Structure 1
Amino acid sequence: MDDQGAAEAAEAADADASAQDTGSGSGSGSGSEGRISTREAARRLGVKPETLYAYVSRGLLTSRRVPGGRGSTFDPGEVAVLAGRGRPGSGAQDRPAEGAADGGWGRIPTSVTLIEADRYSFRGVDATALARAYSYEEVAEWVWTGELRRGVRFTAPPEPLAAARRAAGSLPAASGPMDRLRVAVIAAASADPLRFDLSPEAVLGTARSLIPTLVDALPAAGQPHRGAGRLAWRLWSRLTALPPDDASLRVLDAALALLIDHDLAASTLAVRVAASARAHPYAAVSAGLGALDGPLHGQASALAHRMLAEVLERGGAGPVVAGQLRAGQRIPGLGHRLYQGEDPRATLLFDLLTEVPAASDALAAARDVVATTARHTPLHANVDLALGVLSVACAMPEEAGETVFAVARTAGWIAHALEEYAERPLRMRPSGLYQGPRPPQPLP
């Protein structure tokens, strides 16, 4: 559920498969129609296959699946152009020229998050250090403004909150929290006549009211915490009927802060596209929620939750991991394309979870999964596994991790919308790489 955590691991695995499945016997790597294999494209660029697929996800290259196979092929011309520009991230030669035709689509300038060397930062400050030292609201303010406002609290305005609660409450009883969040955003927007004001002050006002509205629109699972002013405390009572303890609330608050942003994940890119068209902040957040609704992005932590619950039920990770692999499925919560080692967000959450007595069994299960899988392939834990430990240990539903992710990431989506509102409108307009029959074709 990480910003593409599962998707990135999946693409990396596909890249490895492609490197094995698409090369030609001559070693040239030529594919059909003059295209080249993943292995050959990676060789020409001097990168690993995983990096090649990172370029695809960022719009720097396009790939095409091999008919009837698992591999992919690449246009040698595109590879040559990218090779001539230098490896992305290696220097100024990779930056698009001013006024480039793609509007910077491949490399979108941002001052929000930097990911490098197995670390990530918000506006230049280590994100894990921020999450350890400050509350979610305080870190969100830092991400939005570059200023730290100690003790800041977010409050839901009465009319949008009432509209959001009515809309979320009208859904069928079996509806999940993400269903309720999606309709709550739309309902809150309808109650805000100033939603079309895209000035920075108005957008920040919307952010500070929308996030608590989303939380307070969810049905209560337990009694509100005595200090329900902070967002994490209010969200806790929406996720579990268990009474909170300080250590558990600390983990939830840190998880919210850690998940505020993670560069241009799929949902964040959707938000920037909407903001480029000057959609109001509620609509931009709705775009992010829509992109989040899938097993390769938002729902990855639910898969980790189910796996950990099964490990605890069966008394060990061995049969569970074997069952996943036998079914041709990847192990949830493991691997991240952007980190060589353990996801730094998982590292911090695991550390904080050691202070939660109720989490000891789930933590042991997670470590068992990592150790068991390492016998086959060296994959490290990502944030989805840590969210799974939190949700299992605290008797939360399997959708809890996705809910935490969506609430937290709303702050990051607003930060990126603010950046996009300051750019020229409709710049997010890439050109299609047409692959159909060439005209003129006979009239059908």
Structure 2
Amino acid sequence: MDHQAPDDPQPGHPQTDDRRLSTRQAAELLGVKPATVYAYVSRGQLTSRRDPVGRGSSFAAREVEELARRSRREASLPQAAAGSELAVRTGITLIEDDRYWYRGVDATELAARHSYEEVADWLWTGVLRRGIRFEAPAQMLAAARRPVAALPEHSGPLDRLRVAAAAAAVADPLRFDLSEEAVLGSARALIPTLVGALPLAGRAHRGTGPLAWQLWSRLTAREADPVALEVLDLALALLIDHDLAASTLAVRVAASARAHPYAVVSAGLGALEGPLHGAAGRLAHRMLAEVVEGGGAAPVVADHLRAGRRVPGLGHRLYRGEDPRATALFARLEALPQAGPALAAARDVVATTAARRPGLHANVDLALAVLTVSCGMPAEAGETVFAVARTAGWIAHALEEYQERPLRMRPSGLYHGPRPPRPMP
């Protein structure tokens, strides 16, 4: 995370501020009723101290002032869609004008120049450490592999990752320490543990290496070549975060309740498995493989349109043009000789669809499908890459949410059932 300097001490008050406020004073400063002040205490947003002289409670002035500042900031947030959507303050990813930035830095340029681990660690800490590697502790990895190996053969990658995350949590007795240093240690251990717990598709690599190198043998039986590994590493870095997607919002809610980082990642994996979120890569892979085998996109696209289905891998609600993640991946895939047929098929899909549905451009799922089809990976490989990559982004959001007041993700329900009182059933 980016670190901010503490507030300068106010004139007349030392750096260690021991000022206390009465309930009435705290209520006036917060602009609420006295009863609401005690509600903040019950939610863990304020701490109170019993007044030894009087009958009431007192509150630390700095704590009340900080809560007041946060409340004013949240009240000033713009309300999207006439207040129908939740707006969450974040400093991680900005999506604007068909581009996206990680903490103000162009994400595609950052991913092109640095490895997945370097980008993830920088996103967490604000410090770029070249050559950093994430390594799984032996005890945690063994604990994750046992239950994953016991799953049925038909289990999908998200099934395995969820089980691995839960097992890794049990192997970390200090998982409830939510200090930044502890969370970062958990994250650097969890991500390679998730990868290492997946079953091998090819020959295992010896020793340690970049995460993309560790993940490769879990995705395909083919030998890895340097260019293909570069494309996989680029895909991982590009997919780390993308603002508040459904899985990331689930992560923020869990972190708001002060769930530990393993539970936070489990929440993200649960939301990711929804067919409208994580399954897009699998659909794009199958469509692209069908186009490559059939020699043309027209009949495949026609089948989708005839059935009233969306053409997989096309369009994105946040971009008017081509998804910048797809653009970056397509450019790197040009240097991968075996990607030629799949690249041509992807271009055919875009051109064929544009003839009837102008304005639909390639998104990252189509570009990821070119990689998975070209390298002999199964249809669910894109799902695996997405989940592993996004874990780093979920941790970044958890770190950010841990700095906010707890349980702030508490929207009010708009009740539309029968009005009480009703007769007892």
Q: State the TM bucket, normalised to the shorter chain.
A: 0.7 to 0.9
Letter in 2 for 1:118: D
- Answer yes or no: is the 8 Å Cα contact 1:227–1:233 preserved in 2: no
TM-score by length of 1: 0.76
User: Partner residue of 1:385?
Assistant: 366
Q: Which residue is equivalent to 2:265?
A: 285
C-alpha contact 1:277 1:425 (8 A) present in aligned 2: yes
1:227 deviates by 7.4
2:409 corresponds to which residue?
Answer: 428
Amino acid at match of 1:418: L
2:234 maps to: 254
Q: Secondary structure at the residue paired with 1:375?
A: helix
Distance 2:275 2:286 in 1: 13
1 CA distance for matches of 2:168 and 2:207? Answer: 25
Check if 1:169 corresponds to 2:149.
yes
Give 1:372's aligned amino acid.
T
Bigger mean CA offset, 172-181 vs 303-312: 172-181
Is residue 298–residue 352 contact of structure 2 (8 Å, CA) maintained in 1?
A: yes
Cα shift at 1:105: 7.5
Q: Which whole-Å CA distance do the structure 2 matches of 1:414 and 1:113 have between them?
A: 13
The offset of 1:175, in angstroms, is 1.5
The whole-number CA distance in structure 2 between the counterparts of 1:368 and 1:443 is 63
CA contact (8 A) 1:300 1:333 kept: yes
Q: Corresponding residue for 2:356?
A: 376
User: 2:126 maps to which residue?
Assistant: 146
Determine which of 189, 192, 196 is the counterpart of 1:209: 189
Q: Distance in 2 between matches of 1:108 and 1:174?
A: 38
Identity %, equivalent residues: 74
Q: 1:144 to 1:306 in 2, by over 3 A?
A: same
Shift of 1:295: 2.0
Q: Which amino acid aligns with 2:380?
A: E
Structure scoring higher RCO (CA < 8 A, sep ≥ 6) equals 1
The amino acid across from 2:116 in the alignment is Y
1:121 is paired with a residue whose SS is strand
State how far apart, in whole Å, the 1-side matches of 2:366 and 2:92 are: 25
Deviation at 1:219, TM superposition (A): 1.2
Work out whether 1:239 is the aligned partner of 2:227: no
Residue identity opposite 2:96 in structure 1 = E
Q: 2:356 aligns to what SS in structure 1?
A: coil
CA distance in 2 between partners of 1:190 and 1:212 (Å):
16
Deviations 1:232-290 (CA, angstroms, capped at 9, x unpaired): 00100110000011111011000000000000000000001001111100000000000
- Measured after TM superposition, the shift of residue 441 of structure 1 is 3.0
SS of equivalent to 2:409 = coil
Partner of 2:380: 399
1:188 is matched with which residue?
A: 168
Q: Secondary structure at the match of 1:331?
A: coil
Counterpart of 2:195, as a letter, is V
Q: Partners in 1 of 2:227 and 2:282 — Cα distance?
A: 22
Q: Does the CA-based 8 Å contact 2:219-2:377 persist in structure 1?
A: yes
- 2:135 and 2:208 in contact (8 A); partners too: no
Contact kept, 8 Å, 1:300 with 1:332, in 2: the verdict is yes
Give the equivalent residue in structure 2 for 1:441: 422
Q: Is 2:97 the counterpart of 1:97?
A: no
Could you tell me how far apart the structure 1 residues matched to 2:192 and 2:317 are? Answer: 32
- Note the C-alpha offset of 1:149: 0.5
In 2: Cα distance, 1:99 partner to 1:372 partner? 42
Which residue matches 1:309?
Answer: 289
DSSP-derived class of the 2:309 partner: coil
Number of matched pairs: 351
Map of 1:33 onto structure 2: none
Which stretches in structure 2 are left out of the alignment for 5+ residues?
Answer: 1-71
The C-alpha deviation readout for 1:275-328, integer Å capped at 9, x for no partner, is 111110000000000000022111100000000011112111000001011111
Unaligned runs of 5+ in 1: 1-93
Question: Partner amino acid for 2:394?
Answer: W
8 A contact 1:266–1:291 mirrored in 2: yes
Residue 75 of structure 2 aligns to a residue whose secondary structure is coil
